Amino acid sequence: MKQIFLGFGSNIGNRRVNIEKALDDLERYVEMKLIKRSAFYETEPVGKKDQSFFLNLVAEFETSFSPDELLTVIKKEETNLGRKQRDHWDAREIDIDILFFGDECIENGTLIVPHKEIPRRRFVLSPMAEIAPEFIDPRSGKTIANLLEECVDQSFIERIA
């Protein structure tokens, strides 16, 4: 089993329900075991500002899926949960990102893990620091806590229940 971290976001519909349903659906796979999850965070949209704020959460899982298998499962779950194809920075019913896949750095035609923007994204670093502050980003060699301290992102973020 491989330790992974997934980021969840939603800003259309009942955001909390969308994320809870995504977590529940992923946990139903025998290849996925939920270990820990952060609180919810209300966050300002990045890129395209004229839309509703997001609800975000980071969860730690253990999985026996390969990175590509996991991506296929995530895309299927997003579709099942009502995600529509829109432009890059547009609103989303649900967005599930593979943040970290153990200590691997993956760059193939379909997947880049860890995402190169993580050090500049408070909406990822804050919830992740809540559950895994000492996890080391394999790309930078820094802990999540260190990356959060150094993060220059000034976007609004608030931890909520």
pLDDT tens column, 60-116: 999 999 999 999 999 999 888 876 675 655 677 899 999 999 999 999 988 999 988
Least confident range from 49-58, 63-72, 87-96, 140-149: namely 87-96
3-state class of 42 per DSSP? strand
**DSSP secondary structure letter of residue 84:** P
Does pLDDT of 50 surpass 90?
Answer: no
* 47 vs 150 pLDDT, higher one: 150
Q: Residue 89: what pLDDT?
A: 59
CATH at 88: 3.30.70.560
Q: Kind of pairing, strands 112-113 and 2-10?
A: unpaired
Q: Residue 92: what pLDDT?
A: 75
Instruction: Give the percent of the chain with pLDDT over 70.
Output: 94
Of 7, 38, 43, 42, nearest to 127 (Cα)?
Answer: 38
Of 150, 101, 144, 102, nearest to 126 (Cα)?
Answer: 144
Q: Residue 86: what pLDDT?
A: 56
Does pLDDT of 158 surpass 90?
Answer: yes
C-beta neighbour count of 132 within 10 angstroms? 20
Q: Residue 51: what pLDDT?
A: 79
One-letter-per-residue 3-state SS of the chain: CEEEEEEEEECCCCHHHHHHHHHHHHHCCCCEEEEEECCEEEECCCCCCCCCCEEEEEEEEEECCCHHHHHHHHHHHHHHCCCCCCCCCCCCCCEEEEEEECCECEECCCCEECCCCHHHCHHHHHHHHHHCCCCECCCCCCEHHHHHHHCCCCCCEEEEC
What is the tally of structural domains in the chain?
1
Q: Residue 90: what pLDDT?
A: 63
- Average pLDDT, stretch 45-66? 89
Question: Which range marks the domain in which residue 95 is found?
Answer: 2-160
Q: Which residues have a catalytic role annotated? A: 83, 92, 95, 97
Q: Residue 83: what pLDDT?
A: 67
pTM (two decimals) = 0.94
Does pLDDT of 49 surpass 80?
Answer: no
